[in-house]
Amino acid sequence: QKEVEQNSGPLSVPEGAIASLNCTYSDRVSQSFFWYRQYSGKSPELIMSIYSNGDKEDGRFTAQLNKASQYVSLLIRDSQPSDSATYLCAFPGDSNYQLIWGAGTKLIIKP
Amino acid sequence: DAGVTQSPTHLIKTRGQQVTLRCSPKSGHDTVSWYQQALGQGPQFIFQYYEEEERQRGNFPDRFSGHQFPNYSSELNVNALLLGDSALYLCASSLGGSETQYFGPGTRLLVL
């Protein structure tokens, strides 16, 4: 059964620093990976998708994928208090119709 | 550009009752997926609807059923509610077979 592992945190990072979030997965076949941000009491919001090994940058966010080591990470540069949320990683299941999710890492940015 | 909408936002039911949750997908999307998210957990896939049919189902009992209408909107029905059904129910929309899913605001269900 496919699984996704994330450190539940909380991860505390000072404002302005780089926050690094990691996710490991069990399936060697998966081709795409997603990072979602979820504020308390709200629904997940897609912030990054990555399909190829290496880095993908979008503003202050960088997703890194290493298929050989089966991990994907999310870096947030110049962290802001508004980045405080739970970050969930996900990848498609066997049929690509469903997403398999980690439990999320709670990130706290301290002013 | 209309995003994914869900109704109601909150719902309180008692054990044994039945509930219907509604979802309208993002403009231009034709596929609706439903997820259940318990507190502190990642979402769990319930099922996906495409072309008015259930395309795939997760590990949920038959008490959970759904429907998709010709306008692509969808309903999730849960019968014989249990305390353990208390959760945030999320609807996600996508286009065709795309893996990229966008979520609605969710419906928080409390079963007493």
For residue A31, the model assigns a pLDDT of 80
Q: Which of A43, A102, A104 sits opposite B103 (nearest CB)?
A: A43
d(CA A89, CA A30): 13
Residue partners of B20: CB distance under 8 A and separation at least 6: B75, B76, B77
Q: What is the DSSP letter of A81?
A: G
- Would you state the structure tokens that stand for residue B31, as one six-digit string? 């596929």
Percent pLDDT > 90 in chain B is 93
Percent pLDDT > 70 in chain A is 97
pLDDT digits (tens, 9 = 90+) for A48-74: 999 988 999 999 999 999 988 889 999
How far CA A6 is from CA of A11, A86, A106, B56, in Å, comes to: 12, 11, 10, 26
pLDDT digits (tens, 9 = 90+) for B100-112: 899 999 999 999 9
d(CA B100, CA B112): 35
Query: CB-based contact (8 Å) between B3 and chain A?
Result: no
Please report, in tens digits, the pLDDT of each residue of chain B (112 residues total): 679 999 999 999 999 999 999 999 999 999 999 999 999 999 999 999 999 999 999 999 999 999 999 999 999 999 999 999 999 999 999 998 788 899 999 999 999 9
- Would you state the structure tokens that stand for residue A49, as one six-digit string? 């998708």
Query: CB-based contact (8 Å) between B25 and chain A?
Result: no
Indicate the SS3 state at residue B77: strand
Distance of residue A38 Cα from the nearest chain B Cα, in angstroms: 10
The average pLDDT across A63-92 equals 94
Chain B positions in Cβ-Cβ contact with residue A101 (cut-off 8 Å)? 42-44
A98: closest chain B residue by CA: B45
Indicate the SS3 state at residue A6: coil
A50: closest chain B residue by CA: B100
Query: CB-based contact (8 Å) between B7 and chain A?
Result: no
Distance of residue B16 Cα from the nearest chain A Cα, in angstroms: 26
Query: CB-based contact (8 Å) between B55 and chain A?
Result: yes
Locate tokens 């909107």: which residue? B73
Percent pLDDT > 70 in chain B is 99
Given a cut of 80, whether residue A29 has pLDDT beyond it is: no
